[in-house]
Amino acid sequence: QVQLVESGGGLVQAGGSLRLSCAASVRTFSVYAMGWFRQAPGKEREFVAAIGWSSSITYYADSVKGRFAISRDNAKDTVYLQMGSLKPEDTAVYYCAAALYREYALTVAGTYPYWGQGTQVTVSS
């Protein structure tokens, strides 16, 4: 019932920027908290950023704070991840996730029952 589709990934030079988008096919997008996670080959999936469903409070991993920005457009049923000052260590598959009526524990992958299929981000030196 809930479908999430990421887009916007690609290859970029270190120091560059990308904007990822996650389009949600849901009944009422505004009641979902949304998160971004990433996974590099051979590594665990890790939290990147999240935004609450009601207050739109944002959360960021220390590794991306000050460089990435999460936002949402409820009219477009879309969440974005603006990524700047990209580093090679940002290289990963980035996943969008959704959780209904959540405003807490948004940095934890287990909070989210719905996931997209991911989009590849590769940052070269």
Per-position pLDDT tens, the chain of length 125: 899 999 999 999 999 999 999 999 999 999 999 999 999 999 999 999 999 988 789 999 999 999 999 999 999 999 999 999 999 999 999 999 999 998 899 999 999 999 999 999 999 99
Dihedral pair phi/psi, residue 46, rounded to 5°: -125, 150
d(CA 48, CA 97): 11
d(CA 121, CA 109): 19
The amino acid sitting at 100 is L
Dihedral pair phi/psi, residue 53, rounded to 5°: -85, -30
Cβ(21)–Cβ(8) below 8 Å: yes
Q: Give the per-residue pLDDT at 55.
A: 74
Q: Give the per-residue pLDDT at 85.
A: 98
Give residue for tokens 């916007």: 8
Q: Give the per-residue pLDDT at 71.
A: 96
